[in-house]
């Protein structure tokens, strides 16, 4: 991340205290992503930065609920690329019952998973594994 963007994120969202993380670990630091992703100027500049880093051949973006969804949506607006939303658990009713991915995702597409915060990488490795199994890159 470019220097000034990193300091803007740190100033907006870095908290110190005693926090339990999604992995169950404890941390003295916590990046409250909602404190940067709900600021339109910062969200737009993050999306511009992400757009510049997308590898060639990126056909689609993906964001895991909840925190990564605004970042994926803003990057989609910046690039014109479509995106999908990945649920933590499949929905149990409606047209998409049994599916954890909202939006269109075809086998073989080059998908870039946009993350807001990565600590152990566990959350983002789940979708990556299942897409590889279905032929996406």
Ligand X SMILES: O=P(O)(O)OC[C@H]1O[C@H](OP(=O)(O)OP(=O)(O)O)[C@H](O)[C@@H]1O
Ligand Y SMILES: O=C(O)c1cc(=O)[nH]c(=O)[nH]1
Annotated binding site for 5-phospho-alpha-D-ribose 1-diphosphate: 87-88, 91, 93, 115-123
Tell the residue number behind the tokens 């005693």, with chain if given: 18
Residue 65 Cβ, how far from ligand X at the closest point, in Å?
A: 6
Residue 8 Cβ, how far from ligand Y at the closest point, in Å?
A: 16
By CB under 6 A, is residue 14 in contact with ligand X? no
By CB under 6 A, is residue 38 in contact with ligand X? no
Q: Of these, 44, 53, 122, 134, which contacts ligand X (CB under 6 A)?
A: 122
Which of the residues 20 through 59 are near ligand Y (CB under 6 A)?
21-23, 30-31, 33
How many residues belong to the site for ligand Y (CB under 6 A)? 8
Q: Of these, 54, 66, 77, 117, which contacts ligand Y (CB under 6 A)?
A: 117
What are the binding residues?
Answer: 87-88, 91, 93, 115-123
| Contact call for residues 65 and 44 (beta carbons, < 8 A) | no
Question: DSSP labels for the chain?
Answer: --HHHHHHHHHHHEEEEEEE-TTS-EEEEEE-THHHHT-HHHHHHHHHHHHHHPPTT--EEEEETTTHHHHHHHHHHHH---EEEE-SS---SSTTTT-SEES---TT--EEEE-S--SSSHHHHHHHHHHHHTT--
- Candidate ranges 19-27, 89-97, 103-111, 128-136; the one touching ligand Y (CB under 6 A): 19-27
């Amino acid at each position: 991340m470019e220097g000034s963007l990193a300091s803007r994120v740190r100033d907006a969202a870095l908290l110190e205290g005693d926090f339990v993380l999604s992995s169950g670990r404890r941390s003295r630091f916590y990046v409250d992503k909602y404190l940067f992703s709900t600021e339109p100027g910062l969200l737009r500049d993050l999306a511009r930065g992400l757009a510049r880093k997308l590898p060639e051949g990126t056909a689609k973006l993906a964001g895991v609920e909840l925190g990564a969804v605004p970042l994926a949506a803003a990057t989609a607006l910046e690039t014109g690329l479509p995106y999908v939303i990945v649920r933590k658990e499949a929905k149990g009713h409606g047209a998409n019952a049994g599916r954890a991915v909202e939006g269109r995702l075809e086998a073989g597409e080059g998908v870039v998973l946009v993350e807001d915060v990565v600590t152990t990488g566990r959350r983002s490795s789940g979708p990556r594994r299942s897409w590889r199994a279905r032929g996406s890159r």
